[in-house]
């Protein structure tokens, strides 16, 4: 995996009271329907983010994400919640219990041969800001690879790239790697 993907803009962080809001924009050379399948289906999510079981694709539907990359002790993160916005091929939003908060995928109408994906993650607290910026950036690198036909090999995942990204976000005040 390369150091940066030109389709992934630097993640940005905002603070509103005790809420942290992370934003990423991706310009993906794929159709809206292909990107939608990657962010709004259990099969697509598994290729780059997490196993989604159960996953009920409708407002009020249940969702549980089990991350397939594990920590040093082999533990996987699991977060359950609800589908809080659903507009086919436009918006998929999941509000999860615990630290993950609200995650929103918003697809804009295509620009030429590129789909524009705007991502927002809203959560409470400071402790995980850099971890989340690095984590989402790393997962979006996997999304790019998955959309290009190379789904993540979770058995080969290590903390190395995540740590490089985290260090980059830390060194530039949360703006991300260049």
Question: Are the C-beta atoms of residues 7 and 146 closer than 8 Å to each other?
Answer: no
Kind of pairing between the strands at 102-111 and 12-16? unpaired
Residue 162 above 60 pLDDT? yes
- Quote the longest CA-to-CA distance of the chain: 45
**pLDDT tens-digit series, residues 81-127:** 999 999 999 999 999 998 889 999 999 988 888 899 999 999 997 76
Cα 50 from Cα 89, distance rounded (Å): 20
Note the pTM of the prediction, 2 decimals: 0.91
Tokens representing 40 are 């709004």
pLDDT of residue 176: 44
71 or 135, higher pLDDT: 135
20 C-beta neighbours (distance < 10 Å), count: 22
Which residue in this structure is represented by tokens 């609200």? Answer: 102
Closest CA to 119 of 130, 131, 104: 104
**pLDDT tens-digit series, residues 34-81:** 999 999 999 999 999 999 999 999 999 999 999 998 776 778 889 999
Closest CA to 70 of 134, 158, 150: 158
Residue 175 above 50 pLDDT? no
pLDDT of residue 57: 97
């Amino acid at each position: 995996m390369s150091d940066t993907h030109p389709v992934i803009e630097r993640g940005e962080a905002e603070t509103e009271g005790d809420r942290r809001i992370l934003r990423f924009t991706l310009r993906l050379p794929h159709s809206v329907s292909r990107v939608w399948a990657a962010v709004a289906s259990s099969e697509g999510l598994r290729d780059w983010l997490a196993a989604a079981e159960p996953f009920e694709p409708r407002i009020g539907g249940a969702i549980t994400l089990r991350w397939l990359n594990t920590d040093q002790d082999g533990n996987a993160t699991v977060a359950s919640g609800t589908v809080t916005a659903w507009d086919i091929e436009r918006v998929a939003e999941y509000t999860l219990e615990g630290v993950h908060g609200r995650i929103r995928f918003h697809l804009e109408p295509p620009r030429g041969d590129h789909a524009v994906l705007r991502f927002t993650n809203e959560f409470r607290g400071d402790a995980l800001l850099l971890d989340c910026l690095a984590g989402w950036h790393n997962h979006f690198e996997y999304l790019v690879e998955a959309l290009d036909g190379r789904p993540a090999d979770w058995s080969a995942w290590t903390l190395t790239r995540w740590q490089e990204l985290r260090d980059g976000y830390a060194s530039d005040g949360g703006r991300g790697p260049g």
